[in-house]
Amino acid sequence: MFNKAILIGRLVADPELRQTPNGVSVCTFRIAVDRSYSSKDGERQADFLDIVAWRERAEFVSRYFNKGKLILVEGSIQARNYTDKNDQKRTAVEVIAENLRFVGSKSENQGGGASALPSDSDVPSSRGQYPAQTSYSSGSAEDFAEIEDDGDLPF
């Protein structure tokens, strides 16, 4: 079985960060994702999808994103059943975020959740690590090693 969702959309409201009774961070938010077609009158349609992020991902979203910001969400679709306040059985379908990324230009992502975003090397990824920044614009030929060709290359 395979369950993978990759979405790009805009937050329709500020993310809501909460803590479970055990102190685990959870953030819920909704994004609007444009459909790839327009209605007969030319109006664009959008789907509004609920996203749930846990732990470091939750803190990442609540810190750097707010209403209107473009976000890429990679995760899996999950359905859960619950009973509402009127004792009616309901089903909620959500995307459980596994990876979250900025989308768009750096100027589009300035402001909002943070007064001024740090440089890319200072922003933690949604997995709670700091991304490695590699630059190939500087250096010399001595930085590279020649690979011996024994004729047994896989391509």
Give, as one character, the DSSP assignment of residue 60.
H
Report if pTM > 0.85: no
CA distance 75 to 61: 14
- Could you tell me how many helices (H) and strands (E) the chain has, helices first? 1, 6
Under 8 Å CB-to-CB from 13, ≥6 apart: which residues?
29, 30, 67
Q: What's the chain's length in residues?
A: 155
Domain carrying residue 42: 5-121
**Is the backbone of residue 66 left (phi > 0), alpha (psi -120 to 50) or beta?**
beta
The fraction of the chain above a pLDDT of 70, given in percent, is 68
Instruction: Identify whether 155 is part of a domain.
Output: no
For residue range 52-92, list pLDDT tens digits in order.
Answer: 999 999 999 999 999 999 999 999 999 999 999 999 999 99
Give the number of domains in the chain: 1
Identify the CATH number of the domain in which residue 27 sits.
Answer: 2.40.50.140
Instruction: Identify whether 134 is part of a domain.
Output: no
Q: Which of 2, 1, 4, 28 is nearest to 76 (CA)?
A: 4
